[in-house]
Structure formats: structure tokens, C-alpha cells
Amino acid sequence: MNPPSDKPDLGALSDTAATLPEESESTEESKGKKTMDHINIQAVCQNGTMTQFKMRPTTPMQKMFDAFCSRNNTNISSVRFLYEGRRIQGSSTPKSLGLDDMEMIDVVLSQTGGTSLWS
């Protein structure tokens, strides 16, 4: 028999237990960077309901528009999406609009018709 030793038996350790602290810290940092690749955007309706979306800064806004309409059973042609009072085009991206994390976008019903008062 071998005499007892103060050294741990490395053969008994699992792979996860044998990870180095430096590796686990770098993994946490990469997870932090991964979450920073996405931003949260809040779509606020006229009635006050809010829907939150998590998307990449380079994703076209059209994807968010489609997701919003499918979640709310709304026809895309019946709503408009506004940021700072200006209509957002589907080809725009959060990055091109200058959207930061947790920014709010207004969702309003589309109005058709009407005439100029000064015609």
C-alpha cells in the first residue's frame, strides 16, 4: 500500500473541477461580451402596452416589425414605427439609428386619407 499523501488524487477529479480559475474568468468575460452584442429595444403602443425585443445592432428593423406584428396579431400595414418622431424604415438598423440599450420606439396606428387645410 502507498502511504497517504497530502497531494490530491488528480485522477479522481472531473474535467469541470480541473478548470483553472483564469479559464473560468475569461469564460465569464466572453459571456459578458456576448451579451453586449445585443441591445434591448422597447416598442411602446399608443395604449401604453410595451413589448421588449433583444436584437443585434446590425439586424434590420424589419425583423422587429414582423415580430411585433405577429405577437400582437396586427397587420404590418396598419402600424408605423417611430423613433424621436421620425418614421423608421425597415432597412434601418439600431446602429444606423443610433439606438442605445433600452431605447423606446413608438408604435402608432397608420392614418390614411385627409386633406390639406390650405388647399
How do residues 65-81 score in pLDDT, each as one tens digit? 999 999 999 999 999 99
Q: pLDDT tens, 32-62?
A: 454 458 999 999 999 999 999 999 999 999 9
Q: What is the pTM of this model?
A: 0.65
Paired with 45 in beta bridges are: 107
Record: fold of 38-109? Ubiquitin-like (UB roll) (3.10.20)
